[in-house]
Amino acid sequence: MKKFTAIILFTSVSFALLGQEKPDWLDVAFRETTFPANVYYTGFAYGNAPQGKSLQETMQQIKTEAQADLSKKICLKISSQSQTNISAVSTNGQYNENENFFNQSTTKSAAEVVGLKTESYYDLATKIIYAFASVKRDDLSEFYRKQINVGLNKAETTIGVSKQLATANKKISARRKIEEAKQILNDVSFYCDLLVAVDVDSNDSSLQTGRGRELLHTVEQMLIDLEQSTLVYINCSYEYKSAKDNAFNSDPCIFCDIIAQALSENECSVTGNKEEADYELTLITSTAQRSDGKGEYGILSYYANVKGTLYNRLTKKTTVDFSFLNDPAAYASGKSPEDAATKAFKLPELKNKVLEKILPKIKE
C-alpha cells in the first residue's frame, strides 16, 4: 500500500511539471517589453535536466541561477558606481581588484532582494528547464530605504550603550560594543550602494548621508579613545620565607613583568600613576622549595607562588582575591634555586591562572 501511494505522489508531481503551458517570458522581446529595465530587474537562466538528479531539484537550481543573474545586474551597477571596500585577489599571478568586490557584492545582495518573483518551465521536447526572476525597482528602493533607517537607528542605540559602558568603567566591553556599531554602519553603507544602484533619483536625503557620516565619525573617535583605555596599576612585592624556600635574595620582578605584558595584550594599559588607574592589581610573589637536589636523583626544584587582589578604583571594591601556592602546575627544576624559580615563574600555566581570575572582572 505504501508503494502504491508513493507512485501516485510521484506521478502527480511529474504531471504538474510536465503539464505547464509555454510561458510568454521565454521570448526575449516579451521580457524586454513587459519588464522594461527602467522599471524591473530581471534574471534568466536555463539548463538541461541531468540524469540521476530529480527534476524538482534541478528546477530549483535553475531558479536560483536566475535569481543570481538578477543580483549580478544590481552588483554590476554598484561596482561601476562605487569602488569602496575593494580588496585585490590573485588570479594566475595577476591581481583583479574588481572581481573580489563583485563576487562579494553578488553574494550579499542575493539575500537582500525582496519582492522577488521566480517562475520556471520544463520543455518536455528539448528536456531543458527555464527560469525567470523579476522584481520591481520601486519595491527594492523602498526596502533599502527602510533598511538604511533601521540600521542607522540600531547604530545610534549601540553607540549609546557603548557610552554607558565606558561611563561605568567597562571600557573593554564598551570597545566591543562600538566595534559592533561600526559593523552595523558597514552594512548600512552596502544598503546605500544598493539603493543608488536601483534608484537613479536617490540623493543625500534618501541615503541619509549626513546622519551616517556623523555616526561614523563618532564611532571612529570612540574607537581611538577606547584603544587600550582600561588603565591598570600593578603593585608588586616579594615575600620572603625560610632560608631554604627563598630562591632569590631580592624581588626579581619576573612575574610582574609577565602579567604587565599579558594585560597589554588584552586591551589594557599598565600605568605607573595609581590615581589615574581604573584598577589596582596587587601581586605578592614567593618561592618554595619542592626538592633539594639531594638523594638518588638529585633534582633541585622550586614552586613559583603568587597571591593578590584586583581592586576597582571606581567602585572602591576588591573584585577578586586569588592565591596559588605550591601549585603542581607551577614548579620547575634547575641548576640553582634562582634558575629553577625563574623557570617556574615563566611557566604559562601560572600566568594563565592569574589571568583567568582577573580578566573576566576587568572585561565585565
CA 221/CA 250 separation, integer angstroms: 45
Show me where the domains of the chain are located. Answer: 16-135, 138-226, 230-362
* Number of continuous H segments (helices) and E segments (strands) in the chain: 11, 11
**pLDDT band (50, 70, 90) for residue 112:** low
pLDDT surpassing 90 at residue 254? yes
Q: Where are the alpha helices (DSSP H) in the chain?
A: 2-18, 28-34, 55-81, 97-110, 137-167, 171-198, 204-207, 209-226, 254-264, 337-345, 348-362
Q: What is the mean pLDDT of the segment spanning 239-256? A: 91
Contacts of 351 (CB under 8 A, 6+ apart): 255, 258, 259, 262
pLDDT in tens, 314-332: 889 999 999 999 999 999 9
pLDDT in tens, 83-103: 443 333 333 333 333 444 344
Q: What is the mean pLDDT of the segment spanning 144-171? A: 93
Q: What is the pLDDT of residue 81?
A: 58
Q: What is the pLDDT of residue 136?
A: 92
Of 29-43, 96-110, 275-289, the one with minimum mean pLDDT is 96-110
Is 228 within 8 Å of 268 (Cβ atoms)? yes
pLDDT surpassing 80 at residue 347? yes
CA 67/CA 60 separation, integer angstroms: 11
Name the percent of the chain lying above pLDDT 90: 59
Q: What is the pLDDT of residue 298?
A: 83
**pLDDT band (50, 70, 90) for residue 201:** confident
Is 75 within 8 Å of 109 (Cβ atoms)? yes
Q: What is the mean pLDDT of the segment spanning 277-306? A: 92
Q: What is the pLDDT of residue 20?
A: 63
Cα dist from 63 to 60, 75, 185, 322, whole Å: 5, 19, 32, 62
Residue of 245, 319, 315 whose CA lies nearest to 286:
245
Domain at 16-135, CATH class = alpha beta
CATH of domain 230-362: 3.40.50.10610
pLDDT surpassing 80 at residue 8? no
45 DSSP β-pair partners: 131
**pLDDT band (50, 70, 90) for residue 55:** confident
pLDDT surpassing 90 at residue 251? no
CA 83/CA 282 separation, integer angstroms: 52
Chain centroid to CA 139: 30
Q: What is the mean pLDDT of the segment spanning 235-252? A: 92
Q: What is the pLDDT of residue 173?
A: 86
CA 160/CA 138 separation, integer angstroms: 33
Cα dist from 317 to 116, 193, 284, 307, whole Å: 58, 50, 19, 17
**pLDDT band (50, 70, 90) for residue 4:** very low
Cell of 33: 517589453
Q: What is the pLDDT of residue 13?
A: 41
Q: What is the pLDDT of residue 357?
A: 96
**pLDDT band (50, 70, 90) for residue 225:** confident
pLDDT surpassing 80 at residue 147? yes
Q: What is the pLDDT of residue 182?
A: 94
Of 44-53, 71-80, 191-200, 275-284, the one with minimum mean pLDDT is 71-80
- Share the mean pLDDT of the chain: 84
50 vs 351: which has the higher pLDDT: 351
Q: What is the mean pLDDT of the segment spanning 123-130? A: 91
Mark residue 208 as left, alpha or beta (left: phi above 0; alpha: psi -120 to 50; beta: remaining): left
Q: What is the pLDDT of residue 158?
A: 96
